[in-house]
Amino acid sequence: MKQLTVIKIGGNVIDNSEKLHQFLVDFTALPGDKILIHGGGKIATELGTSLGIEPKLVDGRRITDIETLRVVTMVYGGLINKNMVAQLQARGCNAIGLSGADGNVIKAVKRPVKEIDFGFVGDLDEHSVSVTTLDSLLKSNLIPVLCAITHDGDSQLLNTNADTIASAVAVAMSSVYETRLVYCFEKKGVLRDVEDETSLVAEIRSEDFVRLQTEGIVSGGMIPKLHNAFEAIRQGVKAVYIGKADELPQIDTQGFGTRLID
């Protein structure tokens, strides 16, 4: 089985042009088939503010109304995605920027209204990812660069969490590739002491996950992150890595961040 690396980068890299530059160099250098998924960063919020669109929050959760959807479609699908692709092309990486609507690669369902109406937000299921289309792009030597916009198949674009897209893509592609999923975030990985970057936990096996929670080494926002990672592994992903973007070049030598395996 061919190998595939699915990488998600977050806003902290996108918002910093030097970090982004370095990341795109490292991404280009990474051998083998790969797919990049990017989040949004501060640009969408700034553009919204310039246009007088206030960020809408209900119970601390962000709401995507129709104006916000327009803004994220412009910023994620246009500004960030096209500039990132142009930069990758300049470095010799044959990137192709996509929303979920393009080639129907990611089809989502508008989140049902329960206590909160999240607006134009898309949820994914096991049929969301078009493995055939992503595989045919990879076979044409194109590197898909996905933004966090999907569609419902009935003309509606939907704002969708980039972590969730990355995980769904990795799980779906596991049917035809030996797939690893890499999350780049602010920290070096899971730390025994959150203040101490040298206290990295290099590897976590699924059987250790409950114990690490009991010991308090995994806590707070890291719990759902790791829960989703182990869920992806349960569904066929070979390994999930969580670490810092600038350490990506080490992934095949010294290792990268925290490696989660079955």
Please, what is the minimum distance in Å from the beta carbon of residue 68 to a second copy?
13
How far apart, in whole angstroms, are the C-alpha atoms of residue 70 and residue 149?
A: 11
254 binds a second copy per the rule CB under 8 A: no
Q: What single DSSP character describes residue 99?
A: -
156 binds a second copy per the rule CB under 8 A: yes
Applying CB under 8 A, among 8, 38, 151, 238 the residue interacting with a second copy is 151
Of 37, 39, 35, nearest to 8 by C-alpha is: 37
Helix (H, G, I), strand (E, B) or coil at 231: helix
Applying CB under 8 A, among 7, 101, 240, 251 the residue interacting with a second copy is 101
253 residue type, one letter? T
Determine whether the annotation assigns residue 257 to a binding site. Answer: no
159 binds a second copy per the rule CB under 8 A: no
Helix (H, G, I), strand (E, B) or coil at 133: helix
Map 185-230 to HEC letters.
ECCCCCECCCCCCCCECCEEEHHHHHHHHHCCCCCCCHHHHHHHHH
Task: Considering the complex, state which of residue 82 and residue 211 has its C-beta at the smaller distance from a second copy.
Answer: 82
119 binds a second copy per the rule CB under 8 A: no
| Cβ neighbour number for residue 69 with a 10 Å cutoff | 18
How far apart, in whole angstroms, are the C-alpha atoms of residue 64 and residue 125?
A: 20
Applying CB under 8 A, among 16, 56, 65, 74 the residue interacting with a second copy is 74
148 binds a second copy per the rule CB under 8 A: no
Q: 17-29 and 81-90 are packed helices; what angle lies between their axes, rounded to 10 degrees? A: 50
How far apart, in whole angstroms, are the C-alpha atoms of residue 222 and residue 229?
A: 10
Task: Considering the complex, state which of residue 28 and residue 258 has its C-beta at the smaller distance from a second copy.
Answer: 28
Number of residues that bind a second copy (CB under 8 A): 41
Of 206, 200, 211, nearest to 244 by C-alpha is: 200
Q: What single DSSP character describes residue 117?
A: -
Please, what is the minimum distance in Å from the beta carbon of residue 19 to a second copy?
16
Determine whether the annotation assigns residue 32 to a binding site. Answer: no
Task: Considering the complex, state which of residue 88 and residue 248 has its C-beta at the smaller distance from a second copy.
Answer: 88
26 binds a second copy per the rule CB under 8 A: no
Task: Considering the complex, state which of residue 134 and residue 166 has its C-beta at the smaller distance from a second copy.
Answer: 134
Q: Which residues bind a second copy (CB under 8 A)?
A: 47, 50-51, 70, 73-79, 81-83, 85-87, 89-90, 94-99, 101-104, 133, 136-137, 140, 142, 149, 151, 153-157
Known binding positions: 40-41, 62, 159
Known binding positions for substrate: 40-41, 62, 159
